[in-house]
Amino acid sequence: MKVHIEKIESYDFDKIYQFLETLQLEEILKDKKKILLKPNLLGAFLPEKAVTTNPIVVDAVITHLKNIGKDIILGDSPGGSTSVKLVWERTGMKQLAEKHNIPLVNFKTGGIIKKKTDTIEFPITKYIWEVDAVINLCKYKTHSLMSYTGAVKNLYGLIPGLKKSDYHKEHPDHTQFAKVISGLYSLVKDRIAINIMDGIVGMEGEGPSAGDPRNFGVMFASKSASALDFVASSMMGFQPDKLEYILPSLESDNLEISEIEIPDKWQNFKFHKVKIKKIGLYIKILAYSPKILKDVFKKHFTYYPDFNDKCRKCNICVESCPMQVMTLNKGDAHPSIDYDKCIKCMCCHEMCPYQAIYVHKSFLAKFIIK
């Protein structure tokens, strides 16, 4: 399975377009007319925040698809209670839809189809079965809960609206949540014709929304989201076999690691000192530690969402909390959290449009997580 990697230092439309031409989309989409583009539109963030797929990348993909005669729709279901209208506007998608005269679809409306793995049932947007193929336009970022987010995780947005938060409630443990992500992937992967990832400016640190933009200067593409993530996460400095949803997703694709092909010059490439968070990995380490070590860890290894002074009292985090343990009282500077009931899913941290929620870490957590 090929993973294409191209050095593209800035959002230069022509260079991105040339990269798309090398992917032979005409061949990949040869019997397919109606194409759904699924960018990462996590929330109402401006492109320079590097949370969402950059509109210049989406513009180049739309232009190329139109040039090869495809009909396009563009859609997503942003997380939490964020206004979809605001998301379209801030991320630049509204302007693109107007420029190209294509429909924007909100997965919260338009209906769902229920699909089930052995253990988990998912309501998935109907749109992916109403088109001939889906192109996954993901973003290259770290993730405070799952460590890394790229192609496979972007497909979590196919679950409409707040239902996404419910899975955190039902599967609070990191390992269980990884099964949610890989389980969903097994159900939708055959609808995805190709995955194209914007890593020109990605995110490091407290991703997926409150981290620091980083100019990785690279774009990726592959027919397999799991192969793409295996390669891209490794280039960030992760051990991809430790990211719990990657190996099961490769299994869904019937792929061995040895079958992943990348250009020679990228074989052993790693970005220098990426700020990666390993909260999920340490939860796993804890799970396998002897009890005495576990007790010491539990006492000193703590992390939880906390607030800085950027809060604008928009209430989005309160409405997005799957455990409903956040309250915002009149006169308070920011919401408060009932930490006894908080499951540390970090949905609030992820959904805050103003980066007002950070991950507070004890000294030991800071030392280990970096």
The site for ligand SF4 (CB under 6 A) is made up of 305, 307, 311-317, 321, 323, 325-326, 328, 334-335, 337, 342-348, 352, 354, 356-357
DSSP characters over 119-130 = S-EEEEETHHHH
Nearest approach in angstroms of CB 177 to ligand SF4 is: 12
CA angle 135, 141, 145 (to 5 degrees): 110
Contact at 8 Å (CB) between 134 and 103?
no
Contact at 8 Å (CB) between 312 and 354?
yes
Nearest approach in angstroms of CB 51 to ligand SF4 is: 14
Q: Classify burial at 115, counting beta carbons within 10 Å of its beta carbon; exposed 0-12, middle 13-18, buried 19 or more.
A: middle
Nearest approach in angstroms of CB 36 to ligand SF4 is: 29
For ligand SF4, give the closer residue by CB, 104 or 311.
Answer: 311
Rounded Cα–Cα distance for residues 261 and 79 (Å): 33
For ligand SF4, give the closer residue by CB, 276 or 348.
Answer: 348
Nearest approach in angstroms of CB 85 to ligand SF4 is: 17
For ligand SF4, give the closer residue by CB, 137 or 352.
Answer: 352
Contact at 8 Å (CB) between 59 and 13?
yes
Nearest approach in angstroms of CB 364 to ligand SF4 is: 20
For ligand SF4, give the closer residue by CB, 52 or 234.
Answer: 52
DSSP characters over 64-113 = HHHHTT-EEEEEE--STT--HHHHHHHHTHHHHHHHHT--EEETTSS-EE
For ligand SF4, give the closer residue by CB, 166 or 295.
Answer: 166
For ligand SF4, give the closer residue by CB, 33 or 341.
Answer: 341
Nearest approach in angstroms of CB 349 to ligand SF4 is: 7
Q: Report which DSSP code applies to 157.
A: G
Nearest approach in angstroms of CB 189 to ligand SF4 is: 28
Tokens of 366: 């800071």
For ligand SF4, give the closer residue by CB, 112 or 343.
Answer: 343
Rounded Cα–Cα distance for residues 283 and 212 (Å): 24
Q: Classify burial at 227, counting beta carbons within 10 Å of its beta carbon; exposed 0-12, middle 13-18, buried 19 or more.
A: buried
Rounded Cα–Cα distance for residues 261 and 1 (Å): 6
